[in-house]
Chains A and B, each alone.
Chain A
Amino acid sequence: NAGVTQTPKFRILKIGQSMTLQCAQDMNHNYMYWYRQDPGMGLKLIYYSVGAGITDKGEVPNGYNVSRSTTEDFPLRLELAAPSQTSVYFCASSYFGANTEAFFGQGTRLTVV
């Protein structure tokens, strides 16, 4: 089973460039999340979605955008990359919200120079 798939695994961006981090899950989960994890830190929620067509801001949404046109896909868009966005980004999904197990992708390591 594929679970949650994130692409790319690594990326270097120049300041001001834009990119989209891809996330797809094949478990038919309604809930999907984007987190960032800075070195030695826990996870900070960027955006989440409770179903196709519905998205909402998390703790640190500035500089990011998301869309959820299908149940499977939840891309994260970075506009005008800044050094502060250097981080590891994780996509996760769960069947029914915070009380159910979250399944994570392997992460995207992004460096903005």
Chain B
Amino acid sequence: TQLLEQSPQFLSIQEGENLTVYCNSSSVFSSLQWYRQEPGEGPVLLVTVVTGGEVKKLKRLTFQFGDARKDSSLHITAAQPGDTGLYLCAGAEDSNYQLIWGAGTKLIIKP
């Protein structure tokens, strides 16, 4: 069974601080997706990274795919209360129709 380990599981920080969420696996992924989920809603895609070493920016969020395509990180600069939510990473393998999901990081940004 492929695993995608996500850390930390829970993070509560003050507005304005920086944070990083990690997803790690022993499997190689053809792509990795990051989703954000708010209470009572389904996950919504933030970004997809495809190339090893790729960096993508979405305003204050920076996503990186590891060179070997086994890991990824999400860095948030100057976090705001609106960033609060559950962040999920999900990896896709070439030969599989299924996404491999991390357990999620519950992020709370306090004003």
Contact = CB atoms under 8 A, between A and B. Distances in A.
Given A41-B104, A99-B31, A50 B97 contact: yes
A43 B91 CA distance: 12
B11 interface: no
A90 B42 contact: yes
Interface string B12-47: 000000000000000000110101000011111100
Contacts of A58: 98
B92 A98 contact: yes
B48 A101 contact: yes
B101 interface: yes
Interface of A: 4, 31, 33, 40-45, 48, 50, 56, 58-59, 90, 92, 97-99, 101-102, 104-107
Closest CB pairs A-B (n = 10)? A104-B42, A98-B92, A42-B103, A42-B101, A43-B101, A99-B92, A101-B45, A42-B104, A98-B99, A97-B97
